[in-house]
Amino acid sequence: MAEPFLSIQHVRKSFGPTTVVQDFNLDVEPGEFVSFLGPSGCGKTTVLRMVAGFEEPSAGKIVVAGKDITRLKPNQRNVGMVFQAYALFPNLTVAQNIGFGLKVAGMPKADADRRVAEMLDLIKLPQMGDRYPYQLSGGQQQRIALARAIAPKPKLLLLDEPLSALDAKVRVSLREEIRSIQKRLGITTIFVTHDQEEALSISDRIAVMYSGKAEQVGTPFEIYNRPATKFVANFVGTLNVLEGTVTDAASGKVRVNTQEVALKGKLNGSKTGDKLSLALRPEAISLGRHPGRDSSLSGEIAEVHFLGSVIRVRVGIGGSTVSLDTFNSPAAPPPAVGEKAEISFSSGDMLVLH
């Protein structure tokens, strides 16, 4: 593993008596794109602001490229930041906005102009240099905010929910644009979001946060398929949770409602009689029996939603309902509500949440 470029070590932040971030640790490699994902109020912005220098950690330290920057002022850190609310300077043109950091740094005007033009090309708004921010759409303003942040070639790029004020279509296209620019420039980036799809689709790694702590740090694939805690499992993706009771810890048998499933090797440490939450992703469940899926439960079709290529079916099993998706097939009409149905899955896909 390469030397981390950004290292956040045992960082804590309290405002008066309330601790908002506790023992936060994260190493980010050079050129990596890491997302902070978590519900509103979990401390994502606070961690980002400590990296930017707007808040001082109550404890712990932040190291960038081997240098402790914990006590540096924001204007000494050479960090780029994009804010949720665009924050373009309303009195300056687009070109002056992008050139602001260059001018402050004392770059000669000719060089600065060249760099601004380069940035305008990068964000695909080459004609917009003379416009004022109020003449632009939200998506354009946010691209300019991005160009302004990266124009001075910062060591780190921080983005705090940069897409949440935009409408859905722009949000998707802009997040891909941000990712491709980030890859091209190879700039180490932290991206804050509360939108799990956003985080899953563009990150190298995700730090899932909950009440001031990093619950799990991992690749999108790991976070989605092997959530470490109940919170992560629930927050990332759709999850079907079934309550079960261990009937035979030795052979791994668990009773769900009145039926039994075998979960060999998954119960680590549970005793007979323990209550467990079992979780399954919708795509891990099929309707009917299938070869290769070793477990099954029977129930009754509760709801059918025809969504076009996908049909989302909800099956009642005892007191709980599970969602699953099947592909539309012109030859076979979807099941009807009230029919008896059997669902099958591999016990290996079952997540046991403690």
Ligand X SMILES: Nc1ncnc2c1ncn2[C@@H]1O[C@H](COP(=O)(O)OP(=O)(O)O)[C@@H](O)[C@H]1O
Residue 20: which of ligand X, Mg ion, another protein, none does it interact with, CB under 5 to 8 A by kind?
ligand X
Residue 317: which of Mg ion, ligand X, another protein, none does it interact with, CB under 5 to 8 A by kind?
none
C-beta of 51: minimal distance to ligand X in Å?
Answer: 12
Residue 76 or residue 272: which is nearer to another protein going by CB?
Answer: 76
Residue 227: which of Mg ion, another protein, ligand X, none does it interact with, CB under 5 to 8 A by kind?
none
Cβ–Cβ < 8 Å for 121, 94: no
Calpha distance 88→98 (Å, rounded): 9
By CB under 5 A, name the binding residues for Mg ion.
45
By CB under 6 A, name the binding residues for ligand X.
15, 20, 38, 40-46
Residue 14 or residue 346: which is nearer to ligand X going by CB?
Answer: 14
Calpha distance 70→56 (Å, rounded): 7
Residue 6 or residue 261: which is nearer to another protein going by CB?
Answer: 6
Residue 101 or residue 212: which is nearer to ligand X going by CB?
Answer: 212
Calpha distance 218→207 (Å, rounded): 7
C-beta of 168: minimal distance to ligand X in Å?
Answer: 20
Determine which helix (DSSP H) or strand (DSSP E) holds 276, and give its type and residue range.
strand 275-280
C-beta of 214: minimal distance to ligand X in Å?
Answer: 12
Calpha distance 160→181 (Å, rounded): 17
Residues pairing with 311 in the sheet: 306, 326
Residue 42: which of another protein, ligand X, Mg ion, none does it interact with, CB under 5 to 8 A by kind?
ligand X
Residue 54: which of Mg ion, another protein, ligand X, none does it interact with, CB under 5 to 8 A by kind?
another protein
C-beta of 85: minimal distance to another protein in Å?
Answer: 6
C-beta of 157: minimal distance to another protein in Å?
Answer: 11
Residue 75: which of another protein, Mg ion, ligand X, none does it interact with, CB under 5 to 8 A by kind?
another protein
Residue 138 or residue 237: which is nearer to another protein going by CB?
Answer: 138
* Number of residues written out for the chain: 354
C-beta of 216: minimal distance to ligand X in Å?
Answer: 16
Residue 35 or residue 46: which is nearer to ligand X going by CB?
Answer: 46
Residue 57 or residue 101: which is nearer to another protein going by CB?
Answer: 101
Residue 45 or residue 188: which is nearer to Mg ion going by CB?
Answer: 45
By CB under 8 A, name the binding residues for another protein.
52-54, 73-75, 77-81, 83, 85, 87-92, 100-101, 104-105, 132-134, 148-149, 152
Calpha distance 168→189 (Å, rounded): 23
Tell the burial category of 312 from Cβ atoms under 10 Å away from its Cβ (0-12, 13-18, 19+). Answer: middle
Calpha distance 36→22 (Å, rounded): 15
Exposure b/e, 157-173, CB count within 10 A at least 16 = b: bbbbbbbebbeeebbee
Residues pairing with 160 in the sheet: 192
Taking the C-alpha atoms of 64, 70, 72 and 75 in order, what is their torsion angle to the nearest 10 degrees?
60
Taking the CB of residue 339, how many other CB atoms lie within 10 A of it? Answer: 10
Token code pair at residue 180: 């491709």
C-beta of 57: minimal distance to ligand X in Å?
Answer: 13
Residue 15: which of ligand X, Mg ion, another protein, none does it interact with, CB under 5 to 8 A by kind?
ligand X
Token code pair at residue 234: 């629930």
Q: Closest residue (Cβ) to ligand X?
A: 45
C-beta of 119: minimal distance to ligand X in Å?
Answer: 28
Residue 13: which of Mg ion, another protein, ligand X, none does it interact with, CB under 5 to 8 A by kind?
none
C-beta of 163: minimal distance to ligand X in Å?
Answer: 14
Closest CA to 33 of 162, 220, 209: 220
Calpha distance 161→86 (Å, rounded): 10
- The CA angle 116-177-130, to the nearest 5 degrees, is 30
